[in-house]
Chain A
């Protein structure tokens, strides 16, 4: 079944089926928020010291991104341009607070270990960026796809980094209390450097270089 593909100014195809796939791939690789666009870095370094934190933060960001994209997209025609940034910020801040309240009630250990970085989702450039660039100019359906794509890209990047840091830094991998595996020699003498702040900078720097190197090779 052939579909005529029309593109809007952001190069996104109009149409139901293909749009989801395309938006998702876009968020995962081509415009991966962490490694390529380097947006929203503050929480990335802080929460990748364990897989639990990474998953929790990823889920949180997807939730906020999804909700704010939907609401902003739904009321986009009514938002006065003069105060659009404050409006976006209040909407995003509301969902971040809801997330924080829900985590505090139902997932206390995660809430405690994420700490202020949970609240700092509100200034995550990714969410404000998507609101400004995408949600305020596209309809709700595309905004949902965009949120899921970018959110997943962000979460996968977090997981990649956290995998390195937790395995090298503690010698084992545990997800929400359930230990997956433990490397014999490494778990007795783990390289705690990777759990510490400098380790975060190092792992991300190297991974960024890797992503760009792959991009360079692909371009030739």
Chain B
């Protein structure tokens, strides 16, 4: 019976289609499990990082992609996610913003830059340079600003600075309204 079926002209296409359908269904099924775990972990991480930027936070409120951080009844600041294209992939970061619209701190959430070079953007020595800056000042010293890039990792450093500056400009403009 199988031989007769195999000799029909449509059989190869049908077989391939069935295989593809089975594959897609299987993957969708597995993804429903794994994506839940990944999302839960991301949320926990963001919570952790929020607490490291605003240690005395008592609560926060999400308004679209902006997070408003509270200490008691007053606004301690804001945080927003930003991402840029580094040397070898996307760099995801969280920007902590003071009530006066300068940067409180930034945290690198994920990066796949070169170990020992670009990956050093996660070091405090680099990220601390962003504290207190207003949007227009967020530039590498090579580009006229005050942030020293990591030696040998200009692309990674610039990617962070550019992403932070763009996101900060956008958010500050939005908040000022």
Identify the A interface with B (CB < 8 A): 77-80, 82-83, 86-87, 90-91, 93-94, 97-98, 101-102, 104-106, 108, 112-113, 115, 192, 195
- Separation of A105 and B16 alpha carbons in the complex (Å): 30
Question: Is residue B110 contacting chain A, with contact meaning CB distance below 8 A?
Answer: yes
Whether B116 sits at the interface, judged by CB under 8 Å, is yes
B residues in contact with A77, CB < 8 Å: 2
Interface centre among A86, A91, A105 (most CB of B within 10 A): A105
Chain B interface mostly: helix
- Known pairs A104-B34, A115-B112; A83 contacts B23 (CB<8 A): no
Interface residues of B, CB < 8 Å — how many?
Answer: 24
Q: A90-B16, A105-B38, A112-B112 are in contact. List 16 more A-B contacts (CB 8 A).
A: A77-B2, A78-B6, A78-B15, A80-B15, A87-B15, A90-B19, A90-B20, A91-B23, A93-B23, A98-B26, A101-B30, A102-B30, A104-B38, A105-B37, A108-B41, A113-B112
Q: Is the interface of A mostly helix, strand, loop or mixed?
A: helix
CB-based nearest A residue for B114: A196
Q: List residues of B whose CB falls within 8 A of some A CB.
A: 2, 6, 11-13, 15-16, 19-20, 23, 26-27, 30-31, 33-34, 37-38, 41, 89, 110, 112, 115-116
Closest residue to A112 on the B side, CB-wise? B112
Q: Is the CB of B33 within 8 A of A105?
A: yes
When chains A and B are docked, how far (Å) is the Cα of A207 from the Cα of B27? 39
A87 contacts B112, CB within 8 Å?
A: no
A selection of 21 A-B contacts at a CB cut-off of 8 Å is: A77-B2, A80-B6, A80-B11, A80-B12, A83-B13, A83-B16, A87-B16, A87-B19, A90-B20, A93-B23, A94-B23, A94-B26, A94-B27, A102-B30, A104-B34, A104-B38, A105-B38, A106-B37, A108-B41, A113-B112, A195-B115
B20 CB contacts on chain A under 8 angstroms: 90
Question: Is the pair A91, B19 in contact by a Cβ cutoff of 8 Å?
Answer: yes
Contacts of B37 in A (CB 8 A): 105-106
Question: How many angstroms from the CA of A78 to the CA of B19 in the assembled complex?
Answer: 12
